[in-house]
Amino acid sequence: MDLKNPVEQAVILLRSRLCNPNFIFTLFSDSPDSNYSKLKYIISSSVTESCNNSVLLLGPRGCGKLAVLELVLEDLLREFPDMISVIKLNGLLHSDDNCALKEIARQLCLEHQLAFSKMASSDENSQFLIAMLRECGLAHKTVLFVLDEFDLFAQGKQRLLYSLLDAMQSVTSQAVVIGVSCRLDADQLLEKRVRSRFSHRKLLFLPPSREDLQRLLEHALLLPSGSDLPHEFVANFNSNLLNIFADKKFKDIMDTVFNTDSTFKQVLTFLFSALCHLDLKCGFLSVENFKDALSNIQRQPKLECLKDCSILELYILVCMKRLEVREHETCNFNSIMKEYKSIHDSFQTTDYYARDVCRRAFEHLLQRELISFLDNRGHGHSIEFRPVKLLISWQELYQGLKSYGSCPAILYKLVERETTT
């Protein structure tokens, strides 16, 4: 093995931990009323009792629904080695029924070492599915269907859902349908006949509490003693980390992270960013790394965009704002130019440019998506006549002007005046 220095090895180890959701969620799988145990109980009872079941896992994005499901499936595959076969579908890929049936057939063939034909029609695939369910039922083998992005399957005619849930109604089949969705009302999207066949079991996944977050930090970042890193380095790293955790500034940073967005994904992104800022020369994490990570995740994209604008583009934005304040329902490039001219006439600014130049600046603003056209289909009109609207608020514009640096004072005056009138 090539000799990497231990810092690099430690960084690689920690990064692979953070990018691996299975590792993170093993922490939360021990308590008896966690979602992990409930889910495991539901599935294992339907496997052992040879009955059909369906369950929905709901929760905002980044709360570990799929990760916990993967852990449960791993454990069950170890416990009941030949009694389970898993079919995984994703709403983004397989929302079309034909695609979904083809994918189910492909996965079933893969698992049972059958030859899969890509040319099979969807009728053949669905008959194959029903036949396989019957065979698996006779062999006391449970088929688990995992439907990720469940709400996307519920668009359209819901034929796949109906056929799956209907096939489960027969006595000979043993199947469990597990739906995963970020929409909390995913079961309301189901048609009446589908919903009646669906057992209304729902497991809610929530973002972690503050104490869970603390446990997560230690679990993720403390180096294990059993790895092939030098013991001294591991001990130093861990003690340094524990000092940081006890630091008041760090606690404030963690409170900020928790208060803004406490889903697992956000916390993991924060930790990843802190890890990227780790100074390889000194080899340990520090509170500054976490501070940099906090500013990384607390971005204000519109402000950054405004700082990138040129002064002419700022003029155009201020003109649009003034027109908006005067309650013109729609404005287009021509009315903005009129306003621009009137500002120049009344204040004698130095920045008065020709119409072509202003039009190109206007197009830059459209590209940056600080303004946009009101109608999507109006391609008949030239760019000068199509109505546009501002996509930033007055506060963002004002803040952007303040942080611009070399912004001409006239623009401040114009924007400020509008707020007072």
Residues that bind another protein (CB under 8 A): 2, 4, 8, 11-12, 15-16, 18-20, 61-62, 66, 90, 92-96, 99, 102-103, 106, 149, 151, 182-183, 265, 269, 272-273, 276-277, 299, 301-302, 304-305, 307-308, 310-312, 330, 332, 334-335, 338, 351, 353-354, 356-357, 360-361, 364, 367-369, 379-382, 384-385, 387
Contact call for residues 314 and 401 (beta carbons, < 8 A): yes
CA distances to 102, 244, 297, 399 from 292, in Å: 47, 15, 9, 22
Contacts of residue 35, Cβ cutoff 8 Å, sequence gap at least 6: 57, 68, 203, 204, 205
Token couple for 96: 């079309």
Of 223, 218, 265, which Cα lies nearest the Cα of 67? 265
Token couple for 297: 């995740």
Centre a 10 Å sphere on the Cβ of residue 165 and count the other Cβ atoms it contains: 23
Backbone angles phi, psi at 356, to 5 degrees: -60, -40
User: Helix, strand or coil for residue 173?
Assistant: coil
State the DSSP H helix or E strand holding residue 144, giving kind and residue range, or none if neither.
Answer: strand 142-148
Contact call for residues 107 and 87 (beta carbons, < 8 A): yes
User: Helix, strand or coil for residue 176?
Assistant: strand
Q: What's the closest the beta carbon of residue 369 comes to another protein, in angstroms?
A: 5
Contact call for residues 120 and 101 (beta carbons, < 8 A): no
d(CA 242, CA 330): 58
d(CA 13, CA 155): 41
Q: Beginning with the edge strand found earlier in the chain, give each strand of the sheet holding 175-181 in spatial order.
A: 84-90, 142-148, 175-181, 53-58, 201-204
Torsion region of 158: left, alpha or beta (phi above 0 gives left; psi -120 to 50 gives alpha): left
Question: Number of helices and strands (H, E) in the chain?
Answer: 21, 7
What is the DSSP track for 54-110? Answer: EEEEE--TTSSHHHHHHHHHHHHHHHSTTTEEEEEEEHHHH-SHHHHHHHHHHHHHH
